[in-house]
Structure 1
Amino acid sequence: MVVIGIDAHKRTHTAVIIDGNGRKLVTKTCETTSKDHLSLLRWAAGHGENRVWAIEDCRNMTRRLEHDLLAAGERIVRVPPKLMAHARDAARTYGKSDPIEALAVARAALREDGLPTAHLDGPDRDLRRLVDHREDLIAERTRAVNRLRWHLHELDPEWDPPARSLDRASNLDRILHRLTDSSGTVARLAAAITQRCRSLTEEINTIEAEIRNLAEKLVPALIAIPGCAALTAAKILGETAGVTRFRSAATYARHNGTAPLPVWSSNRTRHRLSRTGNRQLNAALHRIATTQARCHQPAKDLIARRKNSGDGGLEALRVLKRRLSDVVYQALRTDYVLEA
């Protein structure tokens, strides 16, 4: 068996083939079109029929390559970027180059068992694109609202709209109506920014409705969790990127950063918060946990028991998040079975 490691970039991909002992055999660099991928596949076929492709898990760079290889019936494993550093440290080469990176990818795939296999994107990827686009639009609207507030302050220091009120069309319409009585460059710019905020708000609302409809169809079991609304469920589904790539609920907890880290020696056993893992997933779980801690009686009882046992408030909340990670994992598994 040979392993073909890929170091992917926007313009080129570099491939390194190693044998079953990790010895480097050959190297090739190609461009990133489907025609170049076919040439890469023919090149790889000349170095062994029993092969596996190892690609660093950065799908914005490798999506077309994965699609072309999967269409040709090839087997692909995705190598998490955090495994790369250990593979480079163990190598006898120095420096950083595309062949060195591709070799590290291949050796990491050879060393590690149970790496996730690549598959064609499904509707969860479309949902993530919508969620990411909505967040970009919200960030753009926030910047516009900040500029608008400064212009309104310059026009009238007493004109200060309430906080978090400029994401509603009715409030923006009132600002536009009042600006008609003002003249000058500042008023004209403020009116233009207000129109932009209104347009962004309409687009955000349209995308939110589309996200809600998709989430309700794809992850009904996840939405059924108390405190997990459609937007949070969509974020979790998109960031998880396929629940089947996790062997167990524990590996999923490690991925989302809710698995506590042991930091003890001798006789005192203790754990601390993990700051590793997918922070977007962790933030989504945190939103569910804080909502349940306020409104869901079983969660309130759990936090009360932990506090009575000597935990602080944050420690009790971390325990709740770890429990929620398992609940979310099971819900995602259920939704996957229902969809299949």
Structure 2
Amino acid sequence: MTSAVADDTTDQIVFGGVDSHADTIHVAVISDNGGHLADAEFATAAAGYAAALAFLSAHGHVRAIGVEGTASYGAGFTRAARSAGLDIVEVNRPDRAERRRIGKSDPIDAYAAARAALSGRASSSPKDDTVAGIRALHNAARSAVKARTAALNQITHILVTAPETIRAKFGQLKGADRIDALARLRPAGDAVHTAVLTALKSLARRVRELTAEHQALTRALDSEVTVHNPGLRAVYGVGPDTAAQLLVTAGGNPERLRTEASFAALCGAAPVPASSGRTNRHRLSRGGDRAANAALYRIALVRMSGDPRTRDYVARQTAAGRTKKEIIRLLKRAIAREMFRCLTTTATIPNIADLRPLRQSKNITLTAAARHFGVWHATISTLERGIRRDDDLVNTYRDWLTAA
């Protein structure tokens, strides 16, 4: 560790780099011409962050600090540095080729982060904390789904090898009927039957609890997402889970993504050039945030199922000879463009709070309204509750109710 600092360096321009870990951060300082000045290790605590910032400032005027893991282990240091008015840029970890060439250690990674900030290779602002609550709820909801799926799979596996009397009674049941029957069990019989039934009852009750937990988390997540970005949540095909994932991917400050093409690349939905010589082509991107890519995929499937414009587009592309996979790739790229606009601009959402009271005051049923517009009654119900967004139908529906 280099610690000697000349007295005449306090006015020079320096750049910092931080390699973050769970318990420590390693901080490096370089001059504006790339020369190594010093590096040191600090604890991931408020006192450690303050000491790290003082260490950086002691070597000169800090122009920028490159931080690895600004949304994970480096989040605490990033908040402290921003509060001190310092410019933070997000640094991706070095690729494998570079690590094979120069090796890996905390000082090496910290100096690499500082050089990335100096050269401009790292220029993205880190995500801010405004979506931290959404990220926490989203992770908890996903965890509940995974645990519920694991419990359901365990029930299925136990029934495959269970005694014949148990398998014959519960093996034919499906879904909620099986869970309800197993949750009401009173284990009895010999030791094997009692053990198997006890395990099945425990797993079934776990499934019930996790289902209720997931529903509660989804309601809380929907509320948070709607407050944070009502325009995104109101887009056709965007549910609480997909909206939360896109907000987490973009961060609370999506303006750091300068173009919609950069957002599409971040989501792995932008074709990657793969040209060479006389060959001019693109290949499918397999990088980016795969969870965001999956969110775009789910939106595409929903729209292919129920959105008339998307269905017409799919029909045209199918007639042109494209496969379903190719069509979905095209849709994901177009959806990424739309999602970027929703994330970076404030959308005005039509007020729908008056629709249900207006319909009820006219004694018009959902079925009658749906029959008039030639849609399912669930379409009118979701429209009134703000789950589905269709501005044209909202205006037409309100005019019809007013005239009725």
- Give the TM-score category using the shorter length: 0.7 to 0.9
Q: Separation in 2 of the partners of 1:87 and 1:2? A: 27
Q: 1:270 corresponds to which residue? A: 281
Shift of the 195–46 alpha-carbon distance from structure 1 to 2, 3 Å rule, reads same
Q: Does 1:130 align with 2:142?
A: no
- Give the SS at the match of 2:22: coil
Kept after mapping to 1: 8 A contact 2:128/2:251: no
Q: Does 1:15 align with 2:27?
A: yes
Q: 2:203 corresponds to which residue? A: 193
Shift of the 266–78 alpha-carbon distance from structure 1 to 2, 3 Å rule, reads closer
TM-score, with normalisation over the residues of structure 1? 0.88
TM-score, with normalisation over the residues of structure 2? 0.75
Instruction: Tell me the CA shift for residue 131 of structure 1.
Output: 0.8
Kept after mapping to 1: 8 A contact 2:64/2:86: yes
Which of 9, 25, 34 is the equivalent residue of 2:37?
Answer: 25
Which of 223, 227, 230 is the equivalent residue of 1:213?
Answer: 223
Q: 1:225 corresponds to which residue? A: 235
Which of 117, 142, 146 is the equivalent residue of 1:139?
Answer: 146
Q: 2:120 corresponds to which residue? A: 112
Q: Separation in 1 of the partners of 2:83 and 2:311? A: 50
Q: Does 1:46 align with 2:53?
A: no
Q: Separation in 2 of the partners of 1:306 and 1:9? A: 49
Kept after mapping to 2: 8 A contact 1:258/1:325: yes
Cα deviations across residues 151-210 of structure 1 (Å, max 9, x unaligned)? 3441422222555x2xx5x75332222445666222222222222222222211111111
Stretch deviating more after TM superposition (172-181 or 212-221):
172-181
How many equivalent pairs are there?
329
Identity of aligned residues (%): 28
Q: Separation in 1 of the partners of 2:348 and 2:255? A: 10
Kept after mapping to 2: 8 A contact 1:3/1:51: yes
Q: Separation in 1 of the partners of 2:54 and 2:194? A: 66
Shift of the 238–337 alpha-carbon distance from structure 1 to 2, 3 Å rule, reads farther
Structure 1: segments with no counterpart, 5+ residues: none
Instruction: Tell me the CA shift for residue 241 of structure 1.
Output: 1.5
Structure 2: segments with no counterpart, 5+ residues: 1-12, 350-404
Q: Which is higher, the Rg of structure 1 or of structure 2?
A: 2
Amino acid at match of 1:10: A
Instruction: Tell me the CA shift for residue 224 of structure 1.
Output: 2.5
Instruction: Tell me the CA shift for residue 217 of structure 1.
Output: 1.7
Stretch deviating more after TM superposition (260-269 or 215-224):
260-269
Which of 245, 249, 257 is the equivalent residue of 1:239?
Answer: 249
Kept after mapping to 2: 8 A contact 1:302/1:320: no
CA RMSD of the aligned region, Å?
2.5
Moved over 6 A (4+): none
Q: Does 1:99 align with 2:111?
A: no
Q: 2:155 corresponds to which residue? A: 148
Q: Does 1:303 align with 2:300?
A: no
Q: Does 1:173 align with 2:180?
A: yes
Kept after mapping to 2: 8 A contact 1:22/1:110: yes
Q: 1:323 corresponds to which residue? A: 334
